[in-house]
Amino acid sequence: MNVDHYTYRVTWSSEDIEHVGLCAEFPSLSWLAASPEQALAGIRRLVAECVADMISASEQVPEPLADRRYSGEFKVRIPPEQHRRLAIEASEQGVSLNRLVSSKLTA
């Protein structure tokens, strides 16, 4: 498992007054540090240790988001009234409901 493929992020924590390193595939892990670079290095080390432990315990290791295949399709349930309003809006704009919703999601 290549831990370089995981999705890392560094953000500032006003509560901790430090930078926080995070990994999307391991939401329960974080690393606090004085600088963004230290926070990133720390979370990367922590994830590598966690993955090694999981492998040695024969546990399933999360697949990196970057390595996953996406179909471009997903279902969303909405109230019937909202569905109707969106269908009317799409019709008035002369586009498909799919195109309208897709444009709203990217806005």
Helices (H) and strands (E) in the chain, counts: 3, 3
Residues 16, 59 within the same domain: yes
- The pLDDT tens digits for 50-89 are 999 999 999 999 999 999 999 999 899 999 999 999 999 9
Residues 28, 74 within the same domain: no
Say yes or no to pLDDT of 1 above 80: no
Residues 94, 55 within the same domain: no
Angle, helices 97-106 vs 80-93, to 10°: value is: 100
- The pLDDT tens digits for 12-33 are 999 999 999 999 999 999 999 9
Give me the domain span that covers residue 97: 70-106
Close Cβ partners of 96 (under 8 Å, ≥ 6 residues apart): 90
Residues 60, 74 within the same domain: no
Q: Tell me if residue 73 falls in helix, strand or coil.
A: coil
- The whole-number pLDDT of residue 107 equals 83
Residues 7, 58 within the same domain: yes
pTM score, whole prediction: 0.75
Helices (H), 57-93: 80-93
Residues 54, 12 within the same domain: yes
DSSP annotation of 57: T
Report how many domains make up the chain: 2
